[in-house]
Amino acid sequence: MTRLELLFTQQGEKTILSEQFSQSPLKVLRPFELEPGSVLLQLLNVGPGIMAGDLFDLHIRVAEGAKVVLLNQSASKLHSMPEGRSACQIVHIEVESGGELEYYPGLSIPFKDAEFKNRVAVELAEGANFAMLESWAMGRIAFDERFMFRKLSSHVKVRQGGKLVYADALELDPKAKRLGISDGHAYLASGIWVWPDLPEPMLNTPISSICKTDESLIYEAFAPDKLYFRGVSSDSLSLSKKLNGFINDWRVQRGKARLEFERYRS
């Protein structure tokens, strides 16, 4: 098992990474300062990617007043795995009242015969702010490995004040008769915002339309301070540009600086 523990706290008017523990191949670098009071931290996998038998256990805590942007430095490569073998990642997130966390793990790419399970559990105090946006490839598209993985499973649960406020399950098995919302699309994206300042609302488009066009981004508030996001695309660069633009438009709307994703990701 590979374990990563991070604790962010407020010190004066700054956010600092006050505690960290990491086991190879997971590493972190020194945080970059963004706006006054906030930092950006890159998560690195210094190995070739996620292999059969890997278990990544991540614990992230943001204390009162701390403001953090957390992202993966590169795409997660889910390598081929022998029959009967799989890999798993478990992410535990805790944000205290007055804390802010933007979590953008980026793209995960399953190779042929990969089997991967992802579990994200988020505990928010009342008054905590949280945003998450992740994306998945349906294989190594450039190598003609579309839907050649064995299985992808990703569950996200968000609780606030001990109450479940959001749950999402992505279960993809190429042997299934129907692939559901992915259909023929090569890339999927999903996200959740729990924040008083939500992205500007878009035109009211039924979520069923997400399967009818080559590229669609759908998001809608389901509470005054909560919003879900869904996206599908057949082009990774186009989707990445749209997702980064969505995040930055929202940050500018809130009076924050744009994130230079090309600087922090390879």
Instruction: Give residue 178's pLDDT.
Output: 57
Instruction: Give residue 8's pLDDT.
Output: 98
Average pLDDT over all residues of the chain: 92
Q: Judging by DSSP bridges, how do beta strands 151-160 and 76-78 pair with one another?
A: unpaired
Q: What is the mean pLDDT of residues 120-132?
A: 98
Higher pLDDT, 216 or 15: 15
pLDDT tens sequence across 39-74: 999 999 999 999 999 999 999 999 999 999 999 999
Instruction: Give residue 180's pLDDT.
Output: 57
* d(C-alpha 220, C-alpha 211), whole Å: 17
pLDDT at 181 over 80: no
* d(C-alpha 147, C-alpha 58), whole Å: 28
Starting at the edge strand that comes first in sequence, how are the strands of the sheet with 163-172 ordered?
14-22, 2-11, 55-62, 87-95, 115-124, 151-160, 163-172
Question: Checking phi first, is residue 127 left (phi over 0); if not, alpha (psi -120 to 50) or beta?
Answer: left
Cβ within 8 Å of residue 255, ≥6 positions away? none
Instruction: Give residue 211's pLDDT.
Output: 54
pLDDT at 151 over 70: yes
Would you list the DSSP string of 37-77?
TEEEEEEEE-SSSB-TT-EEEEEEEE-TT-EEEEEESSPEE
Share of the chain above pLDDT 90, in %: 80
* Element spanning 242, H or E: helix 236-253
| pTM for this entry | 0.94
pLDDT tens sequence across 206-225: 555 555 556 788 898 999 99
Instruction: Kindly tell me the sign of the dihedral angle through the C-alpha atoms of 73, 54, 147, 156.
Output: negative
Instruction: Give residue 175's pLDDT.
Output: 76
* d(C-alpha 265, C-alpha 43), whole Å: 10
pLDDT tens sequence across 81-112: 999 999 999 999 999 999 999 999 999 999 99
Beta partners for residue 166, in sequence order? 158
Instruction: Give residue 183's pLDDT.
Output: 62
